Structure 1
Amino acid sequence: METTSGENLSEVAVERSGNAIATLNRTYQVRTGDTLSLIALRFGVDADALRRLNRFPSVNVSLRAGQQLLLPATGEELRPRTPDREHRVQAGETLSKIAADYGVTLAALLQVNRIADPNTVYVGQLLIIPGDSREHGGASRQIGPPRNGFFYYTVQPGDTMSTIARNLNTTMLAIQTYNNLPDAETVYNNMQLKIPYGPPPIDQVFPPVPMSGTRFVVSISRQQCWVYQGERVVYAWPCSTGAGERRTKPGNYAVQSKILNAKSKVWKLDMPYWLGIYDVGPYENGIHGLPVSWQTGKKIWSGLIGQPATFGCAMLGDLEASILFRMAYIGMPVHVLN
Structure 2
Amino acid sequence: MTTDKAAIMKKRLFFLVVSLAFVLLFVAPTVASADSGPVIHRVKRGETLSGIALKYGTTVRQVMRLNNLRNANRIYSGQRLVIRPGKASAKSNIHIVRRGDTLSGIALHYHTSVAAIQRMNGLRNTIIYVGQRLKVPGSGNGSSGGSASQKPVIHIVRRGETLSYIAQRYGVSVSQIIKLNGIKNRSLIRTGQRLIISGDPAKVKKQPSKGKKKIVVDISSQKCWRYQGKKLLNTWRCSTGRRNSTAVGTFHVQSKLRKAYGSTWNIWMPWWLGIYWAGPVENGIHGLPWNASNGRRTWAGLVGRPITYGCVMLEDSAAKALWQWADIGTTVVIRR
Q: TM-score range by the shorter chain?
A: 0.3 to 0.5
**More helix by proportion, 1 or 2?**
2
Normalised by the length of structure 1, the TM-score is 0.37
Q: Normalised by the size of structure 2, how large is the TM-score?
A: 0.37
Larger Rg: 2
